[in-house]
Amino acid sequence: MLDAFFSGFLQVFTFSTFSLLLVGTLIGFAVGILPGIGGLATLALMLPFVFDMKAQDAFAFLLSMLAVTSTTGDITSILFGVPGESISAALILDGHPMTKQGEAGRALGAALMSSLVGAVIGAFVLAASIPVVAPLVLTFKSPEFFALALLGITFVASLSGGSKLKGMVAAGVGLVLAMVGLDPQSGMPRYTLGLTKLWDGVGLVPVTVGLFAIPEIVDLWVQGTSIAAQRVGRLGGVWQGVKDTFIHWGITVRCSMIGTFIGIIPGLGAGVSQWVAYAHAVQSVSDKSRFGAGDVRGVLGPGAANNSGLGGSLVPTIAFGVPGNAVMALLLGAFLIKGLVPGPAMLTKHLDLVFAFVWFIVISNIITVGLCFLFLEQLARITHVRGSLLVPGILLLVFLGAYAESNTVFDMGVALIFGFIGLIMVYTDWPRPPLILGLVLGALIERNFFISYEIHRLSFLFRPLILAILVVGLGVFFLPKIQKVLARLFGIQEDIVVSEED
Amino acid sequence: MSPKKIELAFSVAIVLFLTWSLWEARGWPLHSKLFPWSLGFSVLALALIQVAVALSGARTESKPRVEGKKGGSGANASAPGERNRIKAQMEIERADLADLGASPSDGPGLTPEAIRRRVVAICGWVLIFFLGIWLLGFKVGSFFLTFAFLKFTAKEKWRVSVAIAVGTYLFFLIVFDVALKVPLGNGFIADHFDLDSLDSYLIIRPILGFFAA
């Protein structure tokens, strides 16, 4: 096994493999920054090019591209409040406020370094867990997936600040929106208003860019200043952001693990893990007052989680041939193109290739972070440009992102509508992340609910693992109240009861 | 309209949306309506509680924060109370508008009314950008919309407006047409009149003509 580990490392540095790794990294770099042009679409576009490549070259190209998109997608989330990837939306909550306070460098430094740490942890978890993951994944069946998805929603609704009620209602609305389209069970159109364009459902990217980015554009114009309302001297904050990653190493490592293990579970992915990681970052500290207003820990959590998921999601794909998400499904196509059969054969005959995958992810992220640090000063300078000069460009990026998902103007209209809804939500203090998470998880929850009901009827709710997960969910939701009651009962101060970070 | 009243209206809108979703599902087969109804009734209950909370918040806000002088009759006696109420309402609105990231102290002389006008203006531009891209496509639309916004709303200089407009056009042309070969569509007008693209008519020929002249 150790031989395969080092052999995989050496494979990275052959001329053709390393060249293609660099090309994939550069493509992923550009794609991640452009909203709407996501890793999935780019993977689909690049897949035909791998026919003539050797297997290790093909995966060096594809994996390096995928590994990098979530890192660079964080950049536009932080600088402009426009998520470069849907999996980078959670960074807007604290990253963009940091930019407005003139701490763009610190936010970018924290996001990039935590992404690198997350990618490394995810990759090595992939390497370490393949032999042991089989019983874990096979234990989880439809009832457990249903309960886990509900747990994810509870986590995020609980970070709704003062109003968990609004958070749960927003999540519920997101779940209802997820049901728009053709019913996966019977094929009948639901909530489509007679429009065939809604048969595929409401697009996640248009909703995300509309809900988050348009209110930021309104805010930028109304302020009448640059994105960064304050100047904080030169970009010294970048190294502070890097240091923050290691000062708050507990959050970084835990959120990396969250991203990795959520990535392992088929159906969930970075779209979910970023929010769960953010919720965990909020709940793991005593002083939550700055979250949502520019707390660097709100950048570290999702930054680490969204990049560690790739390693995790490769686990069921390689070990069982079960793709956990659409990106992995396309990557499975690459396996078949190169004549590789996912499953036990990958772990015996091609173990060195599997370890090479680990190194592709690690090294492409190191290169990307290095490149980003070279250009960070220039990137952060954009935040000091007059807001009026940036508004048209950001608006165009928003509509481009919405359009690019399925090349229809209809999706631009969806972004527009949700943009105004997002504006009202900001104005009336309704949280937006639970709505997005409801939209992301709705299909998964319904599918697993339906299968569980068909097999077990309602008795599936009483399976031990389900009860345990539901208890955890209730505990998370009511934790602050439980802590207050305990504090009053035992007559001790609340900040001692509340768990300390690190 | 105050945020509390808008919040109440938004909460009521959500209740109406959820009620409609439950009503719409009533005629579906069981398999199709099982989850929508299981979920919908629960969320509707929570949403109704939220409406009640929002209603009590709106009623609390509508009571004057600053009481005027009691007693007396007629307009004169109530005028100081009325002025105080208006002043208190302005303070509320000032604080509320600050939630949008605007502060009356940002920029010279920004009053709540000016802030409200800016919000309406930018919302209008968001709509105009949508319509412009739909009609003209990304390449041509980005050129004209960027120029129009910068010149007429942001009051930037001609050179800056034209340069940035040209830059956005070139960005779409080079990145999407040349490099990625990803079609972004030519817009409704070009499709309706069966034109290959509007670029040559609206941008390239005028520019060539300008330089030829």
Chain A contact for B154 (CB, 8 A cutoff): yes
Highest mean pLDDT among A125-139, A182-196, A235-249, A268-282: A182-196
B201 vs A420, residue with greater confidence: A420
Q: Given this model, what pLDDT does residue B60 score?
A: 72
- Average of pLDDT values for B107-126? 83
Which residues does chain B have within 8 Å of residue A185's beta carbon, measured at their own beta carbons?
A: 31-32
| pLDDT of A56 above 50 | yes
Which residues does chain A have within 8 Å of residue B146's beta carbon, measured at their own beta carbons?
A: 392-393, 396
Q: Given this model, what pLDDT does residue A491 score?
A: 63
Contact B107 A224 (CB under 8 A): yes
Distance from A225 to chain B by nearest Cα, in Å? Answer: 8
Contact B100 A222 (CB under 8 A): yes
Which residues does chain B have within 8 Å of residue A445's beta carbon, measured at their own beta carbons?
A: 35
Closest Cα in chain B to A404:
B184
Q: Given this model, what pLDDT does residue A159 score?
A: 62
Instruction: Tell which of B30, B129, B160, B175 to mutate to test the A interface (max A CBs under 10 Å).
Output: B129
Q: Which of A175, A413, A424 sits opposite B39 (nearest CB)?
A: A175
Which residues does chain B have within 8 Å of residue A423's beta carbon, measured at their own beta carbons?
A: 123
Chain A contact for B120 (CB, 8 A cutoff): no
- B82 pLDDT tier (thresholds 50, 70, 90): very low
pTM exceeding 0.80 = no
| pLDDT of B55 above 60 | yes
Separation CA B147–CA A481 (nearest Å): 54
- Percent pLDDT > 70 in chain A is 84
- Comparing A218-232, A283-297, A409-423, B81-95, the range with the smallest average pLDDT is B81-95
- Average of pLDDT values for A25-48? 72
- Selection from A271, A260, A199 nearest residue A440 by Cα: A271
DSSP state of A142: H
Distance from A372 to chain B by nearest Cα, in Å? Answer: 20
Q: Given this model, what pLDDT does residue B12 score?
A: 95
Highest mean pLDDT among A195-209, A475-489, B137-151, B189-203: B137-151
| pLDDT of A66 above 70 | yes
| pLDDT of B97 above 90 | no
End-to-end alpha carbon distance in chain A: 34
| pLDDT of A25 above 60 | yes
Closest Cα in chain A to B143:
A392
Q: Given this model, what pLDDT does residue A174 score?
A: 93
Contact B122 A186 (CB under 8 A): no
- Selection from A271, A237, A272, A279 nearest residue A254 by Cα: A279
Average pLDDT of the residues of chain B: 77
- Comparing A19-28, A112-121, A325-334, A486-495, the range with the smallest average pLDDT is A486-495
- Percent pLDDT > 90 in chain A is 14
- Average of pLDDT values for A89-102? 88
Distances (CA, A) of A251 to A88, A107, A244, A248: 17, 15, 10, 6
| pLDDT of B98 above 90 | no
Contact in structure between A55 and A340 (CB atoms under 8 Å)? yes
Q: Which of B96, B107, B134 sits opposite A409 (nearest CB)?
A: B134
Q: Given this model, what pLDDT does residue A1 score?
A: 65
Q: Given this model, what pLDDT does residue A222 score?
A: 85
| Alpha helix stretches (DSSP H) within chain B | 3-24, 30-62, 74-98, 112-148, 158-172, 188-192, 199, 205-212
Which residues does chain A have within 8 Å of residue B128's beta carbon, measured at their own beta carbons?
A: none
pLDDT tens, position by position, A123-148: 887 778 766 765 665 667 788 878 87
| pLDDT of B200 above 70 | no
- A301 pLDDT tier (thresholds 50, 70, 90): very high
| pLDDT of B65 above 70 | no
- Selection from A129, A130, A87 nearest residue A268 by Cα: A87
- Selection from B122, B208, B186 nearest residue A392 by Cα: B122
Q: Given this model, what pLDDT does residue A261 score?
A: 83
- A424 pLDDT tier (thresholds 50, 70, 90): very high
| pLDDT of B127 above 90 | yes
Closest Cα in chain A to B127:
A416
Q: Given this model, what pLDDT does residue B126 score?
A: 95
Q: Given this model, what pLDDT does residue A422 score?
A: 93
Instruction: Tell which of A37, A40, A219, A221 to mutate to test the B interface (max B CBs under 10 Å).
Output: A221
Q: Given this model, what pLDDT does residue A27 score?
A: 82
Q: Given this model, what pLDDT does residue A10 score?
A: 81
The C-alpha angle with vertex A318 and arms to A469 and A333, in degrees rounded to 5, equals 115
Highest mean pLDDT among A31-35, A322-326, A418-422: A418-422
End-to-end alpha carbon distance in chain B: 55
A282 vs A326, residue with greater confidence: A282
B14 vs A321, residue with greater confidence: B14
Q: Given this model, what pLDDT does residue A286 score?
A: 78
Q: Given this model, what pLDDT does residue B107 score?
A: 45
- Average of pLDDT values for A175-198? 90
Contact in structure between B187 and B136 (CB atoms under 8 Å)? yes
Distances (CA, A) of B66 to B60, B70, B77, B80: 13, 12, 15, 10
Closest Cα in chain B to A172:
B43
| pLDDT of B74 above 50 | no
- A245 pLDDT tier (thresholds 50, 70, 90): very high
- B17 pLDDT tier (thresholds 50, 70, 90): very high
- Comparing A192-206, A238-252, B87-101, the range with the smallest average pLDDT is B87-101
Contact in structure between A178 and A441 (CB atoms under 8 Å)? yes
Q: Given this model, what pLDDT does residue B143 score?
A: 92
Average pLDDT of the residues of chain A: 80
Chain A contact for B123 (CB, 8 A cutoff): yes
CB atoms within 10 A of CB B178: 9
Enumerate helices (H) and strands (E) in chain A, giving the number of each: 21, 2
